[in-house]
């Protein structure tokens, strides 16, 4: 909450109200204001701290990401909930996992997730490697154990060889930690540079339409940047949902208290990591509840619940138009050929219907 208030206060230090008053400011002025809040997605992937993007490690991570045998049932893979071809999401309100159970939250995109301060809506995983260990062990998701997972991997010569190539300096390369590090390396490559917004930030005045530029000005002027800024246009800090007014119905379920479940701190009640807005036009439904399917409606809800204001209809349209410029070049991934199971490979466990 303190971070949110500080960010709101910082708005007064920037000449943003003038942007709205003048309608559409000169590109140099608008770009300078935008660069106070945002930065482009880099053209090339960057290695996570403590990891490397060696081709062998990235290739292994891709195999693990797409392999449903990492789940106890042999049905679900990372790709099941974070579909690379669907903007990094599954397009469901909340994901379906082991035993056809429905998870408690909407699956966030893994595209550009390397730029987030932490992973999951409540930030309980500090990095992508820690995040990769969570769904594997969650009973409502892949319902596996590290021991069963390692038994599966070690039973297949193709995986043993791939781990040895990816971690050549280790005496025992097939480990749960290295499973997670390989997935982290692969996911770090899943970035979406070269959006219209990135090109505009780099100096291309023609990259955005006048309506989109007015939307950018409104996005900054109304205070959206208090939560949604930085390289990923969000994902950098935690904020309470419903600062001005708690949204009702299924948008903010009372049973999901957000980051409070992680910290057990009263200030974190109904606090969530701000959603990164890169590729947001591709990732409906919205919010941690997945309760809203229309981006225009999502903008309207955020205006009233977070900013305490009702945007004019044309202004909502302009902000939605701006959000469309955040769609970057999608990663093109060739589905890897997966190692063949061996006689010793654990058999998938059937799920109850």
Q: Which residues are catalytic?
A: 141
CA nearest neighbour of 128 among 78, 71, 192:
78
User: Distances in Å between the alpha carbon of 14 and those of 49, 65, 173, 229, 274?
Assistant: 33, 43, 51, 14, 22
Give me 49's structure tokens: 């701290």
Alpha-helical runs (H) found in the chain? 2-10, 16-21, 27-35, 55-66, 78-81, 128-137, 146-154, 157-166, 176-188, 196-201, 210-221, 260-263, 295-302, 313-324
The neighbouring-strand residues paired with 286 are: 292
CA atoms within 13 A on the CB side of 258: 25
SS3 108: coil
Distance CA 93, CA 325 (A): 24
- What is the rounded distance in angstroms from the CA atom of residue 156 to the CA atom of residue 137? 21
C-alpha torsion sign, points 229, 112, 128, 257: positive
102 forms beta bridges with 96
């Amino acid at each position: 909450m303190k971070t949110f208030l500080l960010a709101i206060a910082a708005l007064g230090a920037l000449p943003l109200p003038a942007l709205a008053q003048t309608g559409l400011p000169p590109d140099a002025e608008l770009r300078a204001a935008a660069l106070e809040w945002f930065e482009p997605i880099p053209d090339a992937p960057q290695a996570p701290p403590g990891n490397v993007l060696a081709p062998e490690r990235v290739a292994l991570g891709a195999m693990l990401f797409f392999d449903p045998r990492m789940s106890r049932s042999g049905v679900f893979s990372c790709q099941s909930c974070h579909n690379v071809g669907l903007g990094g999401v599954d397009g469901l309100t909340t994901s379906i996992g082991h035993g056809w159970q429905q998870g408690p939250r909407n699956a966030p995109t893994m595209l550009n997730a390397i730029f987030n301060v932490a992973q999951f809506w409540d930030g309980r995983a500090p990095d992508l490697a820690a995040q990769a260990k969570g769904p594997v062990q969650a009973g409502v998701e892949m319902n596996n154990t590290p021991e069963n997972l390692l038994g599966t991997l070690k039973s297949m010569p193709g995986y043993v060889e791939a781990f040895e190539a990816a971690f050549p300096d280790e005496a025992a390369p097939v480990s749960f930690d290295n499973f997670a590090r390989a997935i982290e390396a692969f996911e770090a490559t899943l970035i979406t540079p070269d959006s219209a917004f990135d090109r505009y930030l780099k100096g291309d005045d023609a990259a955005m339409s006048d309506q989109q530029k007015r939307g950018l000005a409104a996005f900054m002027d109304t205070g959206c940047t208090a939560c949604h800024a930085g390289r990923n246009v969000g994902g950098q800090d935690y904020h309470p949902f419903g600062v001005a007014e708690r949204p009702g119905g299924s948008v903010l379920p009372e049973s999901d208290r957000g980051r409070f479940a992680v910290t057990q701190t009263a200030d974190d009640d109904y606090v969530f990591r701000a959603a990164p807005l890169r590729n947001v036009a591709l990732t409906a439904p919205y919010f941690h509840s997945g309760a809203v399917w229309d981006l225009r409606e999502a903008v309207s809800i955020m205006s009233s619940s977070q900013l305490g204001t009702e945007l004019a209809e044309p202004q909502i349209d302009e902000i939605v138009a701006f959000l469309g410029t955040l769609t970057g070049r999608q990663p093109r991934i060739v589905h890897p050929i997966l190692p063949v199971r061996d006689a010793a490979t654990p058999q998938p466990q059937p799920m109850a219907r």
